[in-house]
Homo-oligomer: A and B are copies of this chain.
Amino acid sequence: MTLPDDLDQQVITGEDKLLLPGFVNGHTHSSQVWQRGLIPQLPLELWLANVFDSTPRQLEQFYWGAVSTAVDTLLSGGTCLMDHAYLIPGQERETVEALVRGYREVGIRAVIAPLIQDLPFASGFPKGCLLPQSASSRSAAEWLALMEALIDEFHAPDEGIYIGLGPTGFHRCSDELLTGCAELGDRHQLCYHTHLLETRTQHRLAQERYGISAVQHLYNLGCLGPRTSLAHGVWIDEADISLLASTGATLVHNPVSNLRLGSGVAPILKCLQAGLNVSFGCDGAASNDAQNLLEAIKLGTILHTVSDSDYEHWLTPEGALHLATVGGAKGVNLGDRTGSLTPGMDADLVLYNLDHPSMLPRTNPLQLLVLGRPTQVVDAVWVQGRLRVAGGQVQTVDTHALYRALRQQPLNPETGRSQHHSVESHYRSVMLNASAGE
């Protein structure tokens, strides 16, 4: 293992401690920190209307969103995250700059994959939508040019800051944008990250638009490969799983968000049996009102017992930690740098305090970490060998300033729900009345 300055001069006894490689949060949207506790429990499509109506619009909010997400990640055992990042319209470059500043200050490994789309919101609904078809802000070519510029300016692998290609999802992207992102990703060897079949609505839309599965369509476009990670995949079927596994892509499982939005339960045990790489994500704080990786890992471990009565197929604590580390690292195209305690890897390390009340009694520490409810157990964190957390406190940024910012600038829960109301009747008529027939 490569041990930079901070580490190779120290002896850490590790008494009453557990050392693990850092987890990877494979999917989140950092600016949603401001919407934590704000959006009611609704299915994705209606929830999205609320998210858009209340989304932050100030660069400073995006900076604090990155800092908050990075801090929550470090303090729940993560050393790397994938930020599928919202952009402020007209200030796209400045948004990414604010995020990069936040991640650099905290000192976490971050992939920033800006959410880009060239189809309007209403295109995400099957059977047409009664919403006015507002034009997208940019064409595919314009988005690709912007991404090229962002890569040139901000992609800095040696410093742990990465730009990824993040087309929102097939449902809101033209084929031109989807393939353009893939070509750009291939050219620069970057992550390709997109939402995939999160809801039944998207599943139905794919059938309606392509006549084939969304996975097959992405495959035909050349978007699937070892640098591709796909968030959710709740509605993939066995043929999709085989195809995904054959490409070396990664499925990012976001169990808290999937239940919160009623999206369903992704077929994770089948994915693992097919050899598909799986990692865990928190998803954004508007659909998982916490950003705690240990919580996502616990739920993702126990949830799948309901899909298979043979307990020999169940995910174990050890198996779950493998997904959170090795699986997560592969999913962000960093399998050769992070995710395991192996010579030659960067030192992304987390030291847990086994003496904390939530880790007692002293039985099986891995099981307590995954199946318990560990609280304040992260004692120290190193990212690329540099100390970021010590004694349970983030060393690099003033967390009190962060909490002051979050305290002082709440969004209004009554923020306009205009889009919600205009979408709801269409959603109910298309998605609920017909659901018995599927």
Tell me if A187 counts as interface (CB < 8 A to partner B): no
Closest chain B CB from A119 CB (angstroms):
25
A362 touches B407 (CB 8 A): yes
Return chain B residues, CB-CB under 8 Å to A361: 33-34, 36-37, 406-407, 409-411
The residues of B that contact A373 with a CB separation of less than 8 Å are 289-290, 292, 295
Taking CB atoms, residues of chain B closer than 8 Å to A376 are 375-376
Residues of B within 8 A of A406 (CB): 357, 360-362
Whether B36 lies near A309 (C-beta < 8 A) is no
A306 in contact with B355 (CB, 8 Å): no
Alpha-carbon separation in the docked complex, A431 to B295 (Å): 31
Within 8 Å of chain B (Cβ to Cβ): is A134? no
Interface size on A, residues (CB 8 A): 62
Q: Identify the closest chain B residue to A411 (Cβ).
A: B363
Interface string of A25-38 (1 = CB under 8 A from B): 00000000111111
Give A353 to B150 CA distance when docked, in angstroms. Answer: 42
Residues on B with beta carbons closer than 8 Å to the beta carbon of A365: 37
Interface membership of A129, Cβ < 8 A: no
A409: min CB distance to chain B, Å: 7
- Tell me whether A289 and B413 are in contact (CB under 8 A): no
A38 touches B363 (CB 8 A): yes
A200 to chain B, nearest CB (A): 7
Question: Contact between B371 and A260 (Cβ–Cβ < 8 Å)?
Answer: yes
Task: Point out the residues of chain B lying under 8 angstroms from A48, CB to CB.
Answer: none
Tell whether A259 is near chain B: CB-to-CB under 8 Å. Answer: yes
Interchain CB contact (< 8 A) of A311 among B35, B41, B290, B310: B41
Closest B-chain residue to A303, C-beta based?
A: B259
Contacts of A33 in B (CB 8 A): 361
Q: Mark A315-336, 1 if CB is under 8 A from B, else 0.
A: 0110000000000000000000
Does A432 sit within 8 A of B, measured CB to CB? yes
Q: Does A130 contact B (CB under 8 A)?
A: no
Interface centre among A256, A265, A289, A399 (most CB of B within 10 A): A289
**Nearest chain B CB to A25's CB is how many angstroms away?**
14
Residues of chain B contacted by A40 (CB below 8 angstroms)? 316, 367
Does A302 belong to the interface (CB within 8 Å)? yes
In the complex, A344 has a CB within 8 A of chain B: no
Partner of A262, one of B289, B305, B411, B431: B305
Residues of B within 8 A of A409 (CB): 361
A261 at the interface (CB under 8 A from B): yes
A393 close to chain B: CB less than 8 A: no
Contact with B along A334-378 (1 / 0, CB 8 A): 000000000000000000000101101111110110011101100
Q: Does A221 sit within 8 A of B, measured CB to CB?
A: no
Closest partner residue, chain B, to A61 (CB atom): B361
Q: Which of B261, B314, B367, B403 contacts A357 (CB 8 A)?
A: B403
22 inter-chain pairs at a CB distance below 8 angstroms, sorted by A residue, are A36-B372, A37-B363, A40-B316, A41-B302, A41-B314, A42-B311, A259-B302, A260-B302, A260-B305, A264-B306, A289-B368, A289-B371, A290-B372, A309-B431, A309-B432, A357-B399, A361-B406, A362-B406, A362-B410, A363-B411, A375-B375, A375-B376
Q: Residues of A at under 8 Å CB distance from B?
A: 33-38, 40-43, 46, 200, 256, 259-262, 264-265, 289-290, 292, 295, 299, 301-303, 305-306, 309-311, 314, 316-317, 355, 357-358, 360-365, 367-368, 371-373, 375-376, 399, 403, 406-407, 409-411, 413, 431-432, 435
List the 6 closest A-B pairs by CB distance, nearest first.
Answer: A262-B305, A290-B373, A37-B363, A37-B368, A360-B406, A259-B302
